Amino acid sequence: MTDRHIISLCGFMGCGKSCVGRKLSALLSCPLTDLDTRIEEMSGMPIPEIFATKGEKAFRQVEETALREVLAENCGEGRTVLSLGGGTVTTPECARMVREQTFCIYLKADTGTLVENLREDYSSRPMLNQGGNGPADTDGLRSRIVELMEAREPVYESVASAIVTIDGKNFADVAQEIVSILQGNVR
Query: Structural domain boundaries of the chain?
Result: 6-183
Inter-CA distances, 63 with 67, 116, 141, 147, 171, Å: 6, 27, 25, 22, 25
Q: Which residues of 3-30 are buried (b: 16+ CB within 10 A; e: fewer)?
A: ebbbbbbbbbbbbbbbbbbbbbbeebeb
Question: Vertex 52, ends 95 and 123: CA angle to 5°?
Answer: 85
Complete DSSP assignment for the chain: --S-SEEEEE-STTS-HHHHHHHHHHHHT--EEEHHHHHHHHHTS-HHHHHHHHHHHHHHHHHHHHHHHHHHHT-SSS-EEEEPPTTGGGSHHHHHHHHHHSEEEEEE--HHHHHHHHTTTGGG-TTTSGGG---SSHHHHHHHHHHHHHHHHHHHHHH-SEEEE-TT--HHHHHHHHHHHHHT---
Supply the pLDDT for residue 123: 66
Supply the pLDDT for residue 1: 46
Q: What is the residue-level pLDDT of the chain in tens, covering all 187 positions?
A: 445 689 999 999 999 999 999 999 999 999 999 999 999 999 999 998 998 899 889 999 999 999 999 999 887 768 999 999 999 999 999 999 999 999 999 999 999 999 888 877 766 676 776 544 455 567 788 888 999 999 999 999 999 999 999 999 999 999 999 999 999 854 4
What pTM value is reported for the model?
A: 0.90
CATH topology assigned to domain 6-183: Rossmann fold (3.40.50)
Supply the pLDDT for residue 139: 79
How many Å apart are CA 3 and CA 65, to the nearest integer?
24
